[in-house]
A = this chain, B = another copy of it.
Amino acid sequence: MLFEAVPNFSEARDEQKISRITEAVRAVPGVRVLDLHSDPDHNRTVLTFAGEEDAVLAGAVALARACAAELDLSVQTGQHPRMGVLDVLPFVPLEAATMEDAVRLARRAGELLGALGFPVYLYGAAATSAHRRDLPDVRRGGYEGVASRIDHPSWRPDHGPAGLDPRLGAVAVGARPFLVAFNAYLDTQDVEVAHAVAREVRERDGGLPALRALGLEVGGRAQVSMNLTDLEKTSIPMALEAVRAAAARRGAAVESTELVGLAPLEAILQTARHYLNLRELEAGHVLEMRLRDVSET
């Protein structure tokens, strides 16, 4: 049973720190680091690693220790709202694993990170109450938002200290389905256009289902930063075409896009089917997927 962990930590400028944090995870037996994506403007790194349950759990603990040793939230700056040095730690079920398995893993990790001194908010499918299910609600206002409500009974951490250490902050630990992170860069510097486009396309404001979107300014460009949480409801081409149309109504265009971290093959196949008007294209039509079957026999 394989799981993926996709932690976000609040450092993307100091390569030595990033390297030491990553190496701490890589050193855990049974853990395979799949991807590392640092965004200096967000000052945020997304690390993706996978393995069996106990290996991924040990990787998460090693990561939390390294973030506490290397990073200091009180001096950190960046474009992305953040509430802790180890900001978000989602676990994702892969292949034979179910969401229930991922919830169990997230709760075990929450308990251990609490014992290490992190205030832990369980979110997503691992949340302990409905108002803490959505990540944007948990981290609303970033560190300062958490600080303002941590004493309220409905916002006590699930694990760890009841108060905030300004160097560590808090961490959201959760279980969620596989998520595709897809960003569109607009040909304008006006971040208000990105805000307006994000509002128009995202589910929260009546847009496409299973699509989250934020307008940001990244590298002098307005960016629509998206998370696709269910590709059967909204695929990458559907999201992009909605962004292109919403941008065009504001006199802007999409200049380029990026996929952050990993994407399932199906996301790429959907894209090819859409733009080529393909009658049919499945994983079984991809040579490398079929050769895997050959070499396994």
Contact = CB atoms under 8 A, between A and B. Distances in A.
Size bracket of the A interface: 35 or more
A19 interface: no
Interface string A268-287: 11011011111111011111
Contacts of A295: 2
Contacts of A15: none
A144 B289 CA distance: 40
B256 A277 contact: yes
A247 interface: no
Given A2-B294, A275-B271, A285 B259 contact: yes
A257 interface: yes
Contacts of A272: 236, 268, 271-272
A114 B157 CA distance: 78
Contact of A279 (B258, B262, B271, B286): B258
A276 B257 contact: yes
A255 to B, nearest CB: 7
Nearest to A283: B288
A81 interface: no
Given A50-B291, A258-B280, A275-B275, 16 more contacts: A32-B290, A32-B293, A34-B290, A35-B284, A35-B285, A254-B277, A256-B277, A256-B278, A257-B277, A257-B278, A257-B279, A262-B285, A262-B290, A263-B285, A274-B275, A292-B292
Interface of A: 2, 32, 34-35, 50-51, 94-95, 178, 236-237, 240, 254-259, 261-265, 268-269, 271-272, 274-281, 283-295, 297
27 contacts: A2-B291, A2-B294, A32-B290, A34-B290, A50-B291, A50-B294, A237-B276, A254-B277, A255-B277, A256-B277, A256-B278, A257-B276, A257-B277, A258-B279, A258-B280, A259-B278, A259-B280, A259-B281, A262-B287, A265-B286, A268-B272, A271-B271, A271-B272, A271-B275, A271-B276, A275-B275, A288-B289
